[in-house]
Copies of this chain bind each other. A is one copy, B any other.
Amino acid sequence: MAIKHFSSADINGFADRQRARFINSLSGFKSANLVATIDEQGITNLAMISSVFHIGASPALVGMIIRPTAVQPPAKNTLKKANINDADNKAVPRNTLANIKRTGIYTINHVSADIYQQAHQTSARYDDAISEFDAVGLTETYIDGVAAPFVQQSQLKFSLSVREITPLTINNTILVIGEVSHVLVDNIAVKDDGYIDIESINTAAVSGLDSYHTTTRLSRLSYAKVDRPVQALDI
């Protein structure tokens, strides 16, 4: 292989979208999820997000990074800046954050290979009065005690109560941390030891800003110990 070295000066010399695609590729494969919320008028909102990550299991905490400025209408002299933001992260409508703040509740829904194009389409800038569920052809479903909608087509989905909303002043993104309240999952995927085989329900992975992937398991591996090699586990 021919390893190429890019310095920060090289990267700063990239065009804005080129740099955004490049840097978004560095972290590795990303989770593919739809965040669903509802406002006080009952208008639902659905946003593709690739920055959901695990924070802790006890309590069950999940984080996500959102960039609420991404779809603020660009003023004349800030057009360039708005475009940079667009390229930097998937557009996450400010509705998502506003709804989470108002209701305290949201759902995260795995994007599978069956719905990845519809999921991607939610990042178009629909008017506030339009639900992305309707616009892209996904179906709302509800359970008792959870005000926010779930995506019916998703085979692993969970509701969260917001616990912390922390601005990251370093670049004006927002870290939203929620505590898991209900999990809805295709039962065949849940193994006796607690592992959920998300490959078996065709959950997608994302690379960069716009590439979607299915997966093939290499192996589950045993808990690593100093005195013996890791071993493959049965699923």
A residues neighboring B (CB under 8 Å): 1-8, 11, 14-33, 50-63, 65, 67, 84, 87-89, 108, 110-111, 113, 116-117, 120-126, 135, 143, 155-156, 158, 163-164, 168, 170-171, 173, 175, 177, 180-188, 190-191, 193-199, 201, 203-205, 207-226, 229-230, 233
Contact = CB atoms under 8 A, between A and B. Distances in A.
A173 to B, nearest CB: 6
A88 B11 contact: no
> Binding site of A, secondary structure by majority: helix, strand, loop or mixed?
mixed
B183 A6 contact: yes
A203 B23 contact: no
Contacts of A6: 182-185
A53 B30 contact: yes
Nearest to A32: B28
A26 B8 contact: no
Contacts of A32: 28-29
A171 B55 contact: yes
